[in-house]
Amino acid sequence: MATTRQTLAAAVVAALPLLSMTVTTPVQAQDHPRAARLAPRIDGFNVDEVRRLEPGTELNFDLYGTPGGYATLRIDGATRNLTLQETSPGTYQGTYTIGTHDRINPGSAVTANLRVNDMVTTRLLAESIVRGPGRDDRSDRTAANMPHVDRFDVRGSDDLGPGNELKFTVRGTPGAKVEVQIAGSRGIFFLPEVRPGEYSGLYTIRRDDRIAPDAAVTATIRDHGRYSTATLGQPLMAGGNGQGLNPNNQPRVARYCTNCATVEAVNVVQVSGDGSYLGTGAGAVVGGLLGNQVGSGSGRTAATVAGAVGGAIAGREIERNANARQRFEVVVRYANGATQTIPYENNPGFRVGDRVKVSDGVLIRD
């Protein structure tokens, strides 16, 4: 009888470590040290200017920056804030309809906030929401201090289908920022300054683009809160302008791919299963039986209760671990420094440093 009690007591002691188990701690694999420190970025913030500010007028906003964030904006004089929806990675769009109680005027400041991983960045709209005479004091600034576009060219393509490239060149104020918008495509893209006052880059046509040969293309040059806009006066199909036929005379070109990225980290996350009543109940029964074999009298009753409670907890934890599973998170970095986390139920097979493209939330090897 003594031997039996010693055996049962040893089994109870062996089961005690199960009570302190943790099952939801993420296990980091190939984690990149910079991934957690990346602050969100706003690369562009635009509005479709309107002629009048009156009830019912729609103000359409576009914001470009770090993908996977939460974007909102505030208009001075408005009675409510606007939440922007992420329509594609890093592109946020929204429409504010002016109400009867709004007091928005041409000089109202518009502030955008982009939150990613508990970090927030802010950007003030650099243009007026009203075009024409309703603009703010920009019209009073001297022309000598305004950024300017001296020339805007394109080297077209024989085909405007997905994967083909259009090369744009802007010459104007040095040390500024130049953004280009093409009718039939979503969002804007930026031209890097390849020489002082010369901005050049390639745009790769995406699958969802619908660009016509005569599509309107605008270039905006920005410098210290001021800007000027120019419209392309050439067709986008090759052969109509003679631009760029001699490759030896072409300036250096920075290729621009809107969905190209590099794998920064591959995280393995342990996800626990929920303990069911079956596992909890079975553990309580076994624990109660073990406790009943210890001591006598009131001591035996206390041991039985303690064994049932401990057994229930141990049974739940054992079943949670039995149902535990792993999932994977791949962190990618875009060319502009933005990052995005893409979840997978199974090992996707990517490694840190792999070059990929992001298509509808799925990674494709580049």
DSSP, residue by residue, 145-213: GS--EEEEEEE-BS--STT-EEEEEEEESTT-EEEEEETTSSS-EEE-EEETTEEEEEEEPPTT----T
pLDDT confidence tier of residue 246, bands split at 50, 70 and 90: very low
332, 261 Cβ separation under 8 angstroms: yes
Question: Both 266 and 349 in a single domain?
Answer: yes
Question: Both 223 and 155 in a single domain?
Answer: yes
Question: Both 96 and 181 in a single domain?
Answer: no
Which H or E element spans position 312? helix 297-322
pLDDT above 90 as % of the chain? 22
What radius of gyration, in Å, describes the C-alpha atoms of the chain?
Answer: 31
pLDDT for residue 78:
93
For residue range 191-220, list pLDDT tens digits in order: 999 999 999 999 989 888 899 999 999 999
Single out the residue in 125, 157, 188 at which a domain terminates.
Answer: 125
Cβ-based neighbours of 113, under 8 Å, separated by 6 or more: 71, 72, 73, 74, 120, 121, 122
pLDDT for residue 171:
94
Which is higher by pLDDT, 76 or 305? 76
Residue 327 lies in a domain: yes
80, pLDDT greater than 90: yes
pLDDT confidence tier of residue 291, bands split at 50, 70 and 90: low
Separation of alpha carbons 334 and 260, rounded Å = 6
The domain tally of the chain equals 3
Provide the CATH number for the domain around residue 72: 2.60.40.1930
pLDDT for residue 314:
57
112, pLDDT greater than 80: yes
Residue 245 lies in a domain: no
Domain extent for 268: 257-272+323-365
Question: Both 169 and 72 in a single domain?
Answer: no
Mean pLDDT value of segment 56-63: 91
pLDDT above 70 as % of the chain? 65
Among 27-41, 98-112, 172-186, 243-257, where is mean pLDDT lowest?
Answer: 243-257
Mean pLDDT value of segment 330-357: 84
pLDDT for residue 253:
44
Residue 211 lies in a domain: yes
Q: Look up residue 209 and give its two tokens.
A: 């683009």
Residue 72 to residues 31, 90, 130: CA-CA distances in angstroms?
30, 14, 21
Question: Both 262 and 354 in a single domain?
Answer: yes
Separation of alpha carbons 248 and 35, rounded Å = 40
114, pLDDT greater than 90: yes
Q: Look up residue 333 and give its two tokens.
A: 């970095």
Q: What share of the chain is helix, strand, coil (3-state, %, to 5)?
A: 20, 40, 40
For residue range 302-323, list pLDDT tens digits in order: 445 455 555 555 566 666 566 5
pLDDT for residue 228:
84
| Residue closest to 267 by CA, chosen among 195, 326, 311, 325 | 326
Mean pLDDT value across the chain: 75
Residue 249 lies in a domain: no
Which is higher by pLDDT, 249 or 264? 264
44, pLDDT greater than 70: yes
- State the first-to-last Cα distance of the chain, in angstroms, to the nearest integer: 71
Beta 82-88 vs 42-47: how paired, if at all? unpaired
* Residue 181 β-bridge partners: 218
Beta 193-195 vs 254-256: how paired, if at all? unpaired
Residue 144 to residues 126, 137, 147, 226: CA-CA distances in angstroms?
19, 15, 8, 12
Residue 19 lies in a domain: no
Mean pLDDT value of segment 50-60: 90
Neighbours of 353 (CB within 10 A): 10
Separation of alpha carbons 14 and 153, rounded Å = 78
Question: Both 63 and 119 in a single domain?
Answer: yes
Separation of alpha carbons 320 and 274, rounded Å = 5
19, pLDDT greater than 50: no
3, pLDDT greater than 70: no
pLDDT confidence tier of residue 347, bands split at 50, 70 and 90: confident
Give the global pTM.
Answer: 0.35
For residue range 350-359, list pLDDT tens digits in order: 888 888 888 8
Beta 119-124 vs 110-116: how paired, if at all? antiparallel
pLDDT for residue 197:
92
